[in-house]
Amino acid sequence: MKESPKPNSDERPVINVTDSTLLPHLGEKSVLSAWNISFFGAIVILISLPLFRPDPYLRILKFIPDGIIATFTVTLSAIFFALILGLIAGLGRISQKRIFRLIATIYVEVIRGIPLLVQLFYIYFALPALFRKLHWDSVIHLDGPSSAVIAMAVCYGAYMAEIFRSGIQAIPKGQMEAAFALGMSRAQAMVKVIIPQTVKIILPPIGNEFIALLKDSSLVSILAVSDLLRRGREFASTSFMYFESYTVVALIYLVMTLFFSRLVTMMEKKLRHTSGTNN
């Protein structure tokens, strides 16, 4: 009997785990794929419920649209600032200057070690209390939406930093050397050569982080932000129809996350096609 080769102790299997919705495969075309069943099934249920039971499902759907808008506003604002923070911190993590590396690393490690919910409470309750003691409250005012955007941007910026760092380091060193040979400075090489190639690598993980942030935006309801979840809670608390209210909220969140997962996959496919055409 032939013995199976012993695994190299230095080589370990890589397990990719994510806390957000998995992106559908680029080549997945089956009508009965898990994504199609989940997405279109949720849409069919959302359409069927108010048709067969207008009361209360139609009333719920009329009650929560402004919550959906608030959810998107907070999420898009937070992801915008998180990308900026992530890029700055990611570049700091690979900076040649030790002080920049140290600051960026401390930011990443500290923020990733504190739960998002705690950060929301801290920025909404603790910082205003500090501002009042310093008599800054007349200058700096943090309401619910602004506190939510700041907390989520700071939190997810730390995760984005690691994505940018790993993406930049995945680019072959020869690309930077070629840019130097063309007379570019390090900053010019980063902007014109390295970062554009990095975007194609980091798009899937950034898409996953965006979807995770969209789901985590439900936490901002504790800060008096009238998002989707809070509007559902308000309807449930006045009508006592908790099952119906939270069923609609859950289905809407599911449709949104699955829709954006497909959108990210399409963007990735487009980038790969463009890259292949250029090559």
Type of residue numbered 153: A
Contact 22, 204 (CB under 8 A): no
- Give the 3-state secondary structure of residue 240: coil
Task: Tell whether the torsion through CA atoms of 186, 188, 190 and 192 is positive or negative.
Answer: negative
- In the chain, % helix, strand, coil (3-state, to 5) comes to 75, 0, 25
Question: Is residue 17 one of the residues assigned to a domain?
Answer: no
Question: Is residue 10 one of the residues assigned to a domain?
Answer: no
Question: Is residue 239 one of the residues assigned to a domain?
Answer: yes
Question: Is residue 110 one of the residues assigned to a domain?
Answer: yes
- The helices-and-strands tally (H runs, E runs) of the chain is 12, 0
User: pLDDT value at position 7?
Assistant: 47
Length, in residues, of the chain: 279
Question: Is residue 28 one of the residues assigned to a domain?
Answer: no
Question: Is residue 23 one of the residues assigned to a domain?
Answer: no
Sequence-distant (≥ 6) Cβ neighbours of residue 104 within 8 angstroms: 88, 89, 90, 91, 92, 93, 95, 161
Indicate which CATH number applies to the domain containing 84.
1.10.3720.10
Question: Is residue 120 one of the residues assigned to a domain?
Answer: yes
Question: Is residue 9 one of the residues assigned to a domain?
Answer: no
What's the number of domains the chain is made of?
Answer: 1
Around 62, how many Cα atoms within 13 Å sit in the side-chain half-sphere? 7
What is the pTM assigned to this prediction? 0.82
User: pLDDT value at position 233?
Assistant: 93
User: pLDDT value at position 4?
Assistant: 45
Contact 36, 278 (CB under 8 A): no
Q: Which residue has the tokens 């080769």?
A: 5
User: pLDDT value at position 75?
Assistant: 94
Q: What are the backbone dihedrals phi and psi of residue 267, each rounded to the nearest 5 degrees, phi first?
A: -65, -40
List the end-to-end C-alpha distance of the chain, in Å, as a whole number.
47
Cα–Cα distance for residue pair 253/19, rounded to 1 Å: 15
Type of residue numbered 36: N
One digit per residue, the tens of pLDDT, for the chain of length 279 reads 444 444 444 444 444 445 555 556 555 566 667 888 999 999 999 999 999 999 899 999 999 999 999 999 999 999 999 999 999 999 999 988 999 999 999 999 999 999 999 999 999 998 888 888 887 776 677 888 899 999 999 999 999 999 999 998 888 888 888 888 888 888 888 888 888 888 888 888 898 899 999 999 999 988 888 899 999 999 999 999 999 999 999 999 999 999 998 888 888 777 776 655 555
Sequence-distant (≥ 6) Cβ neighbours of residue 161 within 8 angstroms: 85, 86, 87, 88, 89, 90, 92, 93, 104, 107, 108
User: pLDDT value at position 85?
Assistant: 95
Burial 27-49 (b: 16+ CB within 10 A, else e): eeeeeeeebbebbeebeeebeeb
Domain range enclosing 185: 36-278
